């Protein structure tokens, strides 16, 4: 690399210009995020200015950029390793100071650590040595053969993934089935897994509409809300059990899907997105304002919990005439039983969604959805009824949203319009898009990343959204078509799937 | 002759606002023949196709298709029902394949209606019950037959968008044939093909006519195709029929020559062109 760039070395003034540019960018970004902070003082809320953080942010950016320039110009590996270590120290310093939440001047923490005690000195030196070593060796120039090797490896991974999707899916299913046995006593783990599973199911449901039929739906949460309120209202007003209401919730949501589908049949793309967005808001506003029926913003509380298929109850105090789950199974009562049961319930619902979708893809209706996504005019010329095809996609997608909604209502025991805001639709759509349109495993991956990770890193408070944003930008840059953006043919004639995948990877 | 008529177009007129795209056009196409519609650019050929296949509703006129079980009025049928119930399939001037799907899938999608019925609108198909498995096998056989016919069997599992241009044209014809039509409308099938590919296309079209006994309606600019294979040629100019007959007669028709090569006399410019020139004083 050094030889290729030797003739085109950047002049000193150009380097200074480049560094100044990045310093300004760092200043603009850090001054609002890091530089200003509201502090709760006895005298009231005050604005604290943290110039030290801004300075360090600019410093680390400039040093890091300098390291990149050194690398680009092929000057010296030692210099770039030193610069990167320095930048890492700056970033570390920034995080430590940031957590202190103190606007008094303090000496650099790194110096404190390095000259504090023997043990902290050793830790600091080890840290520096590791960063230095990584910087020194990872920045080694790659020969053409090595570059070739690494791209070959990534295409090999792709081929391995695509020709083994069934196995990977099976491993995933087994993992989710034994999950409660691994974390049986950990209440928050089961809760989080249930939450992730709800979003996986919603993602799979929306995948039918967006991924397969190519109809951009920004109001999917409306069907989720219809399902939730159907169950809550039916169970409160007519005393129907969860198991009876579940299919009813699906049917109600599907009919709302058709109701939405009719007026938007002629629309495509952006226009469709706007109308579906409006539909989602209409449902929410109706739920807020129809006080007599829905309880308005107060929501509906103490919704009945599901029984064990009508055989036994999960509560500690079992009502007259029925038995507890513990008694039925001959085990001691535990409040975890219900949570684990709920987890398995949503797992089963999600798997049903998945299997139905996978099967529908291989049926004429699924192929027609995909054909409609590709070219509606060609579909009409082949005698495919675009109206029915679109409506069926809306209805089936909505139905699964309705199932998920009924489950959500019974799990929470309380629902209000607040749970069904546009943000939810956006999150579900983001899961589908990020996973890779139409990819079932991609949805699982994206749901874990989008729902699981932010919940796991709750201690980082609002900064997790910052990291989340950075993650989204990274995905846009490196995988613009989603994490797993492949389409598997629904039928093959000559080739096995493996051959087809290998042929395309070439 | 009349009992052999497949398609009868009577007084077809199509207006878009003030623009008359087709003006009182009448012609017939006979069963098992290739009928070519030719004419200069903008003559209204594709508009005729769009009326026939339900993309446009004609302003005036009657379109009668004589199917095996009696005559049917095409202008009364809703768009997608024309290929489904009346067996009129078409291809497009700018190829419209499902590019993200494989070649084979393109042909299976074309058999949507038969399969949909066999799958009991997906309910039976979900569990692979009843006739569905058999119907799918049947659809696969039909697809294979047409893959062999257009020479794309080896590429069956390719994405349709990755095929070379000439193969995409042939695939589109195969896809239209999978609809099981009685009348096939081809909109410039030879556009962009090299001479060897055009010759292959001729063989394919003739075989569709002779072996399948299907009537073809053909829009084409490539005279080597039109003159060689068509049984009957209709020439349009400015939405009007200016000639009608067998290829040899049409070739020598003075009206046709005038339409294609233009007038010698400058005074006889078409009125709208002349009006344009007078509006713009710099042009003169």
- Buried residues in A18-57 as b, exposed as e (16+ CB within 10 A): bbeebbeebeeebbeebbeeeeeeeeeeeeeebebbbbbb
Strand duo A312-313 + A323-324: pairing = parallel
Residue A340 distance to chain B (closest CA, Å): 30
CA distance A258 to A252: 10
> CB-based contact (8 Å) between B79 and chain A?
yes
**Residue A392 pLDDT level (bands cut at 50, 70, 90):** very high
> CB-based contact (8 Å) between B80 and chain A?
yes
**Residue A283 pLDDT level (bands cut at 50, 70, 90):** very high
Q: Say if pTM beats, i.e. exceeds, 0.95.
A: no
Q: How many CB atoms lie within 10 A of CB B41?
A: 6
Q: How many CB atoms lie within 10 A of CB A459?
A: 7
Q: How many CB atoms lie within 10 A of CB A1?
A: 13
Q: Output DSSP code: residue B221.
A: S
Residue A333 confidence (pLDDT) = 75
CA distance A331 to A340: 15
Residue A103 confidence (pLDDT) = 54
CA A500 to chain centre: 30
Whether residue A496 is predicted with pLDDT greater than 80 in this model: the reply is no
Residue B275 confidence (pLDDT) = 57
Structure tokens belonging to residue A249: 């919730």
The residues pairing with B184 across neighbouring beta strands, listed in sequence order, are B89, B216
| Residues 6 or more apart whose Cβ sits within 8 Å of residue A329 | none
Residue B175 confidence (pLDDT) = 94
CA distance B39 to A455: 68
| Residues 6 or more apart whose Cβ sits within 8 Å of residue A288 | A294, A296, A297, A417
> CB-based contact (8 Å) between A379 and chain B?
yes
> CB-based contact (8 Å) between A380 and chain B?
yes
Over residues B165-189, mean pLDDT: 92
Check residues A437 and A341 and name the one with the higher pLDDT: A341
CA distance A408 to A415: 8
Residue A504 confidence (pLDDT) = 63
Q: Give B96's contacts in chain A (Cβ within 8 Å).
A: 375, 377-378, 381
Q: What is the pLDDT of residues B134-146, one digit of tens each?
A: 888 899 999 999 9
Q: How many CB atoms lie within 10 A of CB A293?
A: 12
Kindly report the average pLDDT of chain A as a whole number. Answer: 83
CA distance B284 to B282: 5
The residues pairing with A36 across neighbouring beta strands, listed in sequence order, are A49
**Residue A338 pLDDT level (bands cut at 50, 70, 90):** confident
Q: Is A495–B157 a contact, with Cβ atoms under 8 angstroms apart?
A: yes
CA distance A336 to A198: 19
Polymer length of chain B: 284
Q: How many CB atoms lie within 10 A of CB A374?
A: 21
Q: Give A378's contacts in chain B (Cβ within 8 Å).
A: 92, 96-98
> CB-based contact (8 Å) between B280 and chain A?
no
Helix, strand or coil, per DSSP, at residue B164:
coil
**Residue A378 pLDDT level (bands cut at 50, 70, 90):** very high
Over residues A317-335, mean pLDDT: 73
Element of type H or E holding B61: strand B60-67
Residue B61 distance to chain A (closest CA, Å): 22
Q: What is the pLDDT of residues B208-250, one digit of tens each?
A: 998 888 889 999 888 878 888 899 999 998 888 988 888 888 8
Whether residue B51 is predicted with pLDDT greater than 80 in this model: the reply is yes
Residue B145 distance to chain A (closest CA, Å): 13
**Residue A154 pLDDT level (bands cut at 50, 70, 90):** low
Domain spans of chain B, in order of start: 1-87+181-284, 96-179
CA A345 to chain centre: 22
What fold characterizes domain B1-87+181-284? Rossmann fold (3.40.50)
Structure tokens belonging to residue A241: 């059990």
- Max mean pLDDT among A44-53, A76-85, B42-51 falls in B42-51
Check residues A183 and A103 and name the one with the higher pLDDT: A183
Residue A102 confidence (pLDDT) = 58
Percent of chain A with pLDDT over 70: 88
Check residues A61 and B80 and name the one with the higher pLDDT: A61
Q: Is A378–B96 a contact, with Cβ atoms under 8 angstroms apart?
A: yes
**Residue A498 pLDDT level (bands cut at 50, 70, 90):** low
Give all strands of the β-sheet with B70-73 in edge-to-edge order: B19-30, B5-16, B60-67, B70-73
Residue A486 confidence (pLDDT) = 75
Q: Give A381's contacts in chain B (Cβ within 8 Å).
A: 53, 83, 89-90, 92, 96, 176
Structure tokens belonging to residue B168: 């995409």
For the CA atoms of A305, A307, A312, A317, the dihedral, rounded to the nearest 10 degrees, stands at 0
Q: Report the chain B residue with the minimal C-alpha distance to residue A361.
A: B126
Q: Report the chain A residue with the minimal C-alpha distance to residue B147.
A: A493
Whether residue A5 is predicted with pLDDT greater than 60 in this model: the reply is no
Over residues A470-497, mean pLDDT: 78
Assess: ipTM above 0.90: no
| Nearest CB neighbour to A490, from listed B89, B105, B121 | B105
CA B73 to chain centre: 18
Over residues A222-231, mean pLDDT: 95
Q: Judge contact between A173 and A354, C-beta under 8 A.
A: no
Residue A30 confidence (pLDDT) = 85
Q: How many CB atoms lie within 10 A of CB A368?
A: 27
Structure tokens belonging to residue A321: 């005439």
CA distance B58 to B8: 14
Residue A239 confidence (pLDDT) = 85
**Residue A393 pLDDT level (bands cut at 50, 70, 90):** very high
> CB-based contact (8 Å) between B109 and chain A?
yes
> CB-based contact (8 Å) between A364 and chain B?
yes
Check residues B224 and A174 and name the one with the higher pLDDT: A174
Polymer length of chain A: 506
> CB-based contact (8 Å) between A500 and chain B?
yes
Q: Is A381–B119 a contact, with Cβ atoms under 8 angstroms apart?
A: no
Residue A8 confidence (pLDDT) = 57
Nearest alpha carbon to residue A372 among A487, A209, A489, A482: A209
């Amino acid at each position: 690399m050094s030889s290729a760039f030797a003739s085109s070395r950047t002049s000193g003034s150009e380097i200074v210009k480049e560094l100044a540019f990045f310093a300004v960018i760092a200043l603009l970004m850090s001054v609002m995020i890091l530089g200003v902070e509201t502090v709760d003082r006895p005298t009231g809320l005050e604005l604290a200015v943290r110039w030290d953080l801004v300075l360090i942010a600019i410093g680390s950016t400039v040093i890091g950029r300098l390291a990149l320039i050194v690398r680009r110009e092929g000057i010296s590996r030692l210099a770039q390793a030193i610069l990167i270590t320095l930048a890492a120290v700056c970033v570390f310093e920034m995080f430590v100071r940031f957590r202190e939440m103190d606007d008094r001047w303090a000496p650099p923490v790194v110096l404190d650590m390095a000259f504090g005690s023997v043990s902290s000195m050793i830790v600091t030196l080890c840290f520096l040595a590791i960063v230095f070593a990584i910087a020194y060796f990872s920045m080694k120039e790659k020969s053409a053969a090595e570059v070739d090797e690494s791209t070959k490896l990534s295409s090999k991974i792709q081929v391995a993934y695509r020709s083994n999707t069934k196995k990977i899916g099976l491993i995933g299913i087994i993992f989710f089935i034994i999950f409660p046995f691994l974390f049986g006593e950990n209440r928050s783990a089961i809760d989080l897994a249930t939450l992730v599973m709800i979003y996986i199911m919603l993602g799979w449901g929306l995948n039918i509409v967006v991924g397969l039929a190519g109809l951009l739906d920004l109001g999917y949460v409306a069907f989720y809300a219809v399902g939730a309120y159907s169950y809550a209202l039916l169970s409160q007003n007519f005393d129907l059990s969860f198991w009876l209401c579940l299919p009813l919730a699906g049917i109600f949501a599907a009919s709302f899907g058709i109701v939405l589908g009719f007026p938007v049949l002629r629309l495509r793309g952006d226009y469709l997105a706007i109308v579906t967005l409006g539909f989602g808001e209409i449902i929410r506003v109706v739920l807020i304002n129809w006080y007599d029926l829905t309880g308005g913003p107060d929501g509906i509380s103490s919704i009945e919990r599901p029984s064990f298929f009508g055989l036994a109850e999960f509560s500690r105090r079992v009502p007259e005439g029925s038995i507890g789950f513990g008694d039925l199974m001959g085990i001691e009562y535990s409040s975890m039983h219900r949570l684990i049961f709920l987890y398995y319930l949503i797992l089963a619902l999600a798997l049903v969604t998945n299997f139905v979708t996978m099967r529908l893809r291989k049926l004429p209706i699924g192929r027609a959805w995909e054909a409609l996504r590709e070219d509606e005019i060609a579909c009409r010329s082949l005698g495919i009824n675009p109206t029915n095809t679109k409506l069926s996609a809306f209805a089936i997608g909505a139905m699964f949203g309705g199932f998920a909604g009924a489950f959500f209502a019974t799990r929470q025991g309380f629902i209000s319009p607040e749970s069904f805001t546009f943000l939810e639709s956006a999150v579900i759509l983001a899961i589908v898009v990020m996973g890779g349109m139409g990819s079932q495993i991609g949805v699982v991956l994206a749901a874990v990343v989008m729902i699981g990770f932010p919940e796991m890193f709750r201690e980082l408070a609002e900064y997790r959204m910052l990291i989340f944003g950075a993650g989204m930008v990274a995905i846009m840059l490196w995988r613009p078509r989603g994490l797993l953006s492949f389409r598997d043919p629904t039928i093959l004639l000559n080739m096995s799937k493996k051959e087809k995948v290998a042929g395309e990877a070439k | 002759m009349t009992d052999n008529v497949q398609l009868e177009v009577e007084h077809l007129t199509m207006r878009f606002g003030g623009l008359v795209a087709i003006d009182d056009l009448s012609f017939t196409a006979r069963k098992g023949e290739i009928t070519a519609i030719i004419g200069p650019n903008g003559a209204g050929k594709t508009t005729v196709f769009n009326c026939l296949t339900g993309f446009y509703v004609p302003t005036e006129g009657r379109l009668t298709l004589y199917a095996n079980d009696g005559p049917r009025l095409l202008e009364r049928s809703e768009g997608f029902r024309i290929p489904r119930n009346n067996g009129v399939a078409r291809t497009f001037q700018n190829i419209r394949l499902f590019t993200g799907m494989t070649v084979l899938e393109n042909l299976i999608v074309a058999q949507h209606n038969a399969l949909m019925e066999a799958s009991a609108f997906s309910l039976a198909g979900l569990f692979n019950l009843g006739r569905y498995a058999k119907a799918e096998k049947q659809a696969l056989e039909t697809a294979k037959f047409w893959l062999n016919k257009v020479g794309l069997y080896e590429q069956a599992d390719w994405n349709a968008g990755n095929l070379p241009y000439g193969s995409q044209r042939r695939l589109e014809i195969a896809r239209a044939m999978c609809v099981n039509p009685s009348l096939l409308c081809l909109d410039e099938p030879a556009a962009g093909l090299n001479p060897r590919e055009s010759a292959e296309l001729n063989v394919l079209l003739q075989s569709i006519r002779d072996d399948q006994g299907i009537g073809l309606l053909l829009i084409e600019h490539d005279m080597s195709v039109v003159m060689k294979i068509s049984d009957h040629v209709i020439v349009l100019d400015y939405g009007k029929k200016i000639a009608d007959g067998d290829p040899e007669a049409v070739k020598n028709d003075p009206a046709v020559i005038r339409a294609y090569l233009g007038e010698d006399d400058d005074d006889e410019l078409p009125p709208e062109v002349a009006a344009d020139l007078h509006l713009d004083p710099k042009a003169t």
